[in-house]
Structures are given as C-alpha cells and as structure tokens.
C-alpha cells in the first residue's frame, strides 16, 4: 500500500473516513467481497470530486460516471437531511450502485422487458433475476405482476429472503377517462378499498406505475402518515420527465427505446390517432433494434409525416438510414434531418392541428428539452 496515497486521502477528507484493507462484505447487500485497499466515505460532493480526481491521477480504478453521481447524490441527500429518497437503479439491480443501500423501506419492480440483454441476460426470467437482486430480507417488495415468467422469479427470491411480496395486476385498476390532459382511473386496494386517481399522463401503462407507487404508500402508511387526500393530490401533480411528457401543447416526448417501450408508445398513439393526425420525430442509437422499432410503429400507426434525426454520439445511426426504413414500411412523407433542433422545427411545422410524438431514445428527449430551454419561443 502506498503511504503517500493514504496521506493524500486524509488531506482531502477526515482520517476517520479512510479505511484500509476494509472487507467489502461489510458494505454490500450479499455480504461478499474481498478487502479494499482504501475504503473512503466522503462527506461532501466536493470531497467526492477531489478524491476521484486523485485516484485518476495515480492511475487507480475509480467509480463510473453513474456511481460517482450516485455517491454525490447520497452525500447531498445527507446534507439536506431529506425525509425520504426514491432511488432508481441505473442498470439491472443486483450489481447496481443503488443496491448498496441495505435497509430501504420498500423495493419496487416495474415491468420488465428485453433490454440491455448483453449485461442482464437474454430472457425475461434472467433479467428478472437481476432486478430481483434489489430485494432485501424482510423488506416488502411490490411488483408489476402481469408477466408470469418475471413474477415467478421475483416471488421465489422474496420467499428466500422472507420478504412480503405483493404482485399488482391489471385487474386492480380500471380506466375511466383518457384525454390529452391525462388519465382518470379507479384503483382497488385492501386498506383504502376503491380509490379514484388522476395522473397527468396520457399513456395507459402509467396506470400500473401510479398503482405501484400508491400501493407502496399504502403499505408504508404507518411510517409516513400522509393523509389519503395528499397521496391523491401528489399523484395528480406528478412530473416525470421524458416519459410521455407534454413539453408543448400536443407535443409529447417519450424515452421509449426498446421493443416493449415502443409497443407501449404505439398503444397510446393509436388511441389519440383515432381523432388527431400523428406526426412522428424519431431517432435511435446503433445498439438498439431500431429496425424492429420502426416496423412496430409503421404497422400500427400511419403518421401524417415522419422526421428522422440523429443522436447518440459514437452510437449514432444516420438519419437517412432511419428514414429509409420508414419509407420501406410504407410511410409516405418522410424527412431526414441530422440536426435535432432543425428536425424538431420541421416536425412542429408538419404537426398542424394534430399531435407530435418524439420517440426512440432518451438521448432524443434530452436534446429536445435542451433545445426548448435555449429556444423558449419554439
């Protein structure tokens, strides 16, 4: 061990925060792992940055970008003395940085689809196994139970850990109204019986997500003691960026970037396409099955116009290539425009009195929202 590096670390944070030869099993959920040469617990976001910079300068392994943001976030949450934190895994769950939290109040698993198969596995069951890695002993797990293969894996892991498991199914909620302002639906649960809920989202799949959130709060009612009317109000005023988010009147951005996500998007677009012409702004990155995504869209929706654009840096797919697939699948008015801002303006001009959906990649969502911030007159 280099004493010089240790001495440098205790100049960047308090000595009590730097452990040497520390067994990692003391700090991970599965209680496995050898000894770390240095185990550092920074106390501020600034300390995180300085320690990582020092590790880089000395050629040592250092946290990934996501792990760094997670650590900085946890430090900020501690400094702010927040009441509750909602953590979303970055990739999978079992080996995710967020899974270092040992004693959460609850674990929630939403719908599972074939995504990141090179890391998580090539079947729903394998991916469910990775997702189920977030379940903690005796901690309730609430999950989307509409997929039998995934549910079997999740329930088995919960039983192994003695964790109460609650599967939510689509017969537990019923849509009452779906307009361009959002969805009204009823949700049936044990404690509150039937509750009338509203969400400011137009996609039917958000009823399951809202139900998971509401049911979790029902299970934790003795912890948070938030009145029912406040829970209902909270759902009604929820803001979830990039997921069927309305960014301008009748302009929706959605981060759907895999086959399942696009299928859910199509379900929503078909509903509104019955009364409103649909214009589509589309992009995807090279490691996604964009040809299948385009085929799914083209088979179910007949857009008034399609504008294809480019995102993703080194993973970029040429707009001309994406446009060609739309043409091959029968879309008549298709435009290729590499620049996202110009593509967005073209799509807006083609929207007319209909609706514009921007879909295919979270990168696309991010670039559109950045463009709108810089061009508020759009």
> Are 287 and 331 found together in one domain?
yes
In a domain, 291, yes or no: yes
Residue 110 Cα distances to 42, 89, 160, 281, 344, angstroms: 32, 11, 20, 27, 31
In a domain, 86, yes or no: no
Q: What is the tally of structural domains in the chain?
A: 3
In a domain, 76, yes or no: yes
In a domain, 191, yes or no: no
> Are 124 and 160 found together in one domain?
yes
Q: Could you tell me the two tokens for 221?
A: 């009612």
> Are 48 and 127 found together in one domain?
no
Yes or no: say if 111 and 205 are a contact pair by the CB < 8 Å rule: yes
Yes or no: say if 228 and 211 are a contact pair by the CB < 8 Å rule: no
Yes or no: say if 359 and 308 are a contact pair by the CB < 8 Å rule: no
- Domain membership of residue 102 as a residue range: 97-174+203-236
> Are 66 and 101 found together in one domain?
no
Cβ neighbours of residue 280 closer than 8 Å, sequence gap 6 or more? 297, 301, 303, 305, 306, 307, 347, 356, 357, 358, 359
Q: Is 246 exposed, middle or buried (0-12, 13-18, 19+ CB in 10 A)?
A: middle
Among 139, 133, 51, which residue's Cα sits nearest to residue 100? 133
Q: Provide the residue count of the chain.
A: 378
Residue 29, pLDDT score: 47
| Count of Cβ atoms closer than 10 Å to residue 235 Cβ | 20
> Are 20 and 105 found together in one domain?
no
Residue 34, pLDDT score: 62
In eight-state DSSP terms, residue 247 is E
> Are 354 and 286 found together in one domain?
yes
Q: How far apart are CA 72 and CA 78, in angstroms?
A: 10
0.75 surpassed by pTM = no
Burial 326-356 (b: 16+ CB within 10 A, else e): beebebeebbbbeebbebbbbbbebbeebbb
CATH of the domain at 104: 3.40.1190.10
Residue 32, pLDDT score: 45
Among 223, 197, 194, 221, which residue's Cα sits nearest to residue 208? 197
Among 336, 353, 355, which residue's Cα sits nearest to residue 279? 355
- Give the H/E segment covering residue 319: helix 319-328
pLDDT tens-digit profile, the chain (378 residues): 577 888 888 888 888 888 888 876 676 544 545 677 788 888 887 888 888 888 878 777 667 778 888 888 888 898 899 999 999 998 888 888 888 888 899 999 998 887 777 878 889 899 999 999 999 999 999 999 999 999 999 999 999 999 999 999 999 999 999 888 889 999 998 888 899 999 988 888 899 999 999 999 999 998 998 999 999 999 999 888 888 888 999 999 998 887 778 888 888 888 888 888 999 999 999 988 889 989 988 888 888 899 999 998 888 999 999 999 999 988 889 999 999 999 999 999 999 989 999 999 989 999 999 999 998 887
Residue 30, pLDDT score: 44
In a domain, 183, yes or no: no
CATH of the domain at 321: 3.90.190.20
> Are 232 and 113 found together in one domain?
yes
> Are 232 and 103 found together in one domain?
yes
CATH of the domain at 71: 3.30.43.10
Q: Of 28, 50, 80, which residue is a domain's last?
A: 80
> Are 370 and 294 found together in one domain?
yes
Yes or no: say if 205 and 179 are a contact pair by the CB < 8 Å rule: no
> Are 131 and 26 found together in one domain?
no
**Is 216 strand, coil or helix?**
helix
> Are 108 and 230 found together in one domain?
yes
**Is 289 strand, coil or helix?**
coil
Q: Of 184, 218, 236, which residue is a domain's last?
A: 236
> Are 104 and 72 found together in one domain?
no
Helix/strand/coil (H, E, C) string of 121-171? CCCHHHHHHHHHHHCCCCCCEEEECCCHHHHHHHHHHHHHHCCCEEEECHH
Residue 28, pLDDT score: 53
In a domain, 181, yes or no: no
- Cα-flanking dihedrals φ and ψ of residue 147, to 5°? -110, 110
In a domain, 275, yes or no: yes
Q: Of 183, 217, 236, which residue is a domain's last?
A: 236
In a domain, 195, yes or no: no
Residue 113, pLDDT score: 81
How many helices (H) and strands (E) would you count in the chain?
Answer: 14, 14
């Amino acid at each position: 061990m280099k004493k010089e590096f240790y001495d440098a670390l205790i100049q960047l944070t308090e000595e009590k925060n730097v452990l040497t030869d520390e067994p990692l099993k003391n700090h991970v959920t599965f209680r496995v792992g050898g000894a770390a040469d240095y185990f550092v617990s920074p106390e501020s976001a600034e300390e995180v940055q300085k320690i990582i910079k020092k590790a880089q300068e000395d050629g040592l392994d250092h946290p990934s970008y996501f792990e760094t943001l997670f650590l900085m976030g946890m430090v900020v949450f501690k400094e702010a003395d927040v009441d509750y934190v909602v953590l979303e895994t970055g990739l999978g769950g079992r080996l995710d940085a967020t899974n270092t939290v040992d004693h959460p109040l609850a674990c929630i698993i939403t719908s599972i689809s074939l995504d990141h198969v090179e890391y998580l596995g090539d079947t729903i069951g394998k991916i469910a196994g990775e997702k189920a890695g977030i379940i903690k002993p005796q901690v309730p797990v609430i999950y989307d139970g509409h997929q039998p293969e995934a549910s079997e894996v999740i329930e088995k892991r919960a039983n192994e850990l003695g964790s109460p498991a609650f599967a939510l199914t689509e017969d537990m909620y019923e849509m009452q109204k779906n307009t361009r302002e959002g969805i009204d639906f009823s949700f049936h649960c044990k404690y509150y019986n039937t509750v009338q809920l509203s969400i400011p989202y137009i996609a039917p799949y958000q009823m399951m997500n809202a139900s998971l959130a509401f049911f979790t709060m029902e299970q934790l009612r003795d912890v948070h003691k938030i009145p029912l009317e406040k829970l209902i109000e909270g759902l009604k005023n929820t803001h979830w960026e990039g997921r069927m988010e309305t960014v301008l009147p009748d302009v929706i951005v959605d981060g759907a970037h895999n086959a399942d996500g696009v299928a859910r998007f199509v379900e929503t677009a078909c509903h509104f396409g019955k009364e409103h012409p649909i214009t589509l702004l589309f992009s995807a990155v090279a490691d996604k099955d964009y040809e299948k995504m385009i085929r799914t869209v083209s088979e179910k929706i007949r857009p008034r116009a399609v504008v294809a654009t480019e995102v993703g840096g080194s993973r970029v797919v040429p707009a001309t290539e994406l446009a060609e697939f739309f043409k091959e699948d029968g879309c008549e008015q298709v435009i290729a425009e590499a620049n996202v801002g110009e593509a967005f303006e073209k799509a807006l001009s083609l929207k007319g009195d209909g609706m514009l959906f921007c879909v295919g990649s979270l990168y696309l969502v991010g670039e559109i929202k950045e463009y709108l911030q810089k061009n508020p007159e759009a």
